[in-house]
Amino acid sequence: MTKRFILGICGGTGSGKSWLTQRLVKELGSRVSVIQSDWYYRDQGHVRGEARLRLNFDHPRAIEVPLLVSHLRKLIAGAAIDAPRYDYATHRRMKRTVPVKPRPILIVEGLFVLHEASIHGLIDHGIFIDVPADQRLILRLKRDRAMRRLDVFETLRLYESFARPMHEKFVEPSRRHADEIWEGLPTEGRIRKLIQFIKRRL
């Protein structure tokens, strides 16, 4: 079995996890495959009416962890997977899947990457991005409007009801499993050092 380097990127909502992942993909190119835990949200299309307002997408149970871990293990073993995709507007898992190929570098990114033992146990190097809550909220407002078709009031409701308390309960404590803790948004210097580190590991 070919040795692969598994990088975990964790942090609160709006901390720059996806941005950092995209930057690493741009720098490292075809050597990288990515799995985002957000792809593995459980299908909630059957939930209707006011019950939808109580859906908590910031709790670990919202993610189908066994499927995510199964896909991780397959990629590590050298097999391709068909990764799910999620529609945030309808709360449904899309019928369309996206193939992910096994490559020397695998990035696993998401809120609970370092919380779930079955995930962080497979990671070679974990990074926790620790960004102040006000900065994260601003970034989430921009992202939700641009990518998830949510208005400001809905984002603020979700943040106050779910994202903030779940961050304090699950995400923030998971930093103890990180190999590196980055204070503040990713900087150019940190990114360059991380890229050099990954290249050395390969």
- The predicted model gives 32-41 an average pLDDT of 95
Is the pTM for the entire model greater than 0.75? yes
Which residues are bridge partners to 93 per DSSP? 86
Considering the chain, what percentage of its residues have pLDDT values greater than 70?
99
pLDDT at 132: 93
pLDDT at 78: 95
pLDDT at 116: 95
Q: Residue 114's domain is classified under what CATH number?
A: 3.40.50.300
C-alpha to C-alpha distance for 10 and 178, rounded to whole angstroms: 9
Q: Are strands 86-87 and 92-93 parallel, antiparallel or unpaired?
A: antiparallel
Which structural domain range is residue 76 located in? 5-201
pLDDT at 181: 97
**Predicted confidence (pLDDT) at residue 118 exceeds the cutoff of 90:** yes
| Cβ neighbours for 161, distance < 8 A, ≥ 6 positions apart | 56
pLDDT, mean over the chain: 92
pLDDT at 34: 97
- The predicted model gives 34-44 an average pLDDT of 93
| Cβ neighbours for 183, distance < 8 A, ≥ 6 positions apart | 130
Q: Given pLDDT bands bounded at 50, 70 and 90, which one contains residue 2?
A: low
**Predicted confidence (pLDDT) at residue 42 exceeds the cutoff of 90:** yes
DSSP-based three-state secondary structure for 58: coil
Single out the residue of 133, 74, 146, 75 nearest to residue 104, CA to CA: 75
pLDDT at 180: 96
pLDDT tens readout for residues 145-185: 777 777 898 889 989 999 999 999 999 999 999 999 999 98
Residue bearing the bigger pLDDT, 19 or 49? 19
Single out the residue of 37, 6, 36 nearest to residue 123, CA to CA: 6
Residue bearing the bigger pLDDT, 48 or 98? 98
Q: Are strands 5-11 and 125-130 parallel, antiparallel or unpaired?
A: parallel
Number of domains forming the structure of the chain: 1
DSSP string, 72-121: HHHHHHT--EEE--EETTTTEE-S--EEE---SEEEEESTTTTT-HHHHT
pLDDT tens readout for residues 84-100: 999 877 888 999 999 99
Q: Is 110 left (phi over 0), alpha (psi -120 to 50) or beta?
A: left
DSSP string, 129-165: EE--HHHHHHHHHHHHHHHS---HHHHHHHIIIIIHH
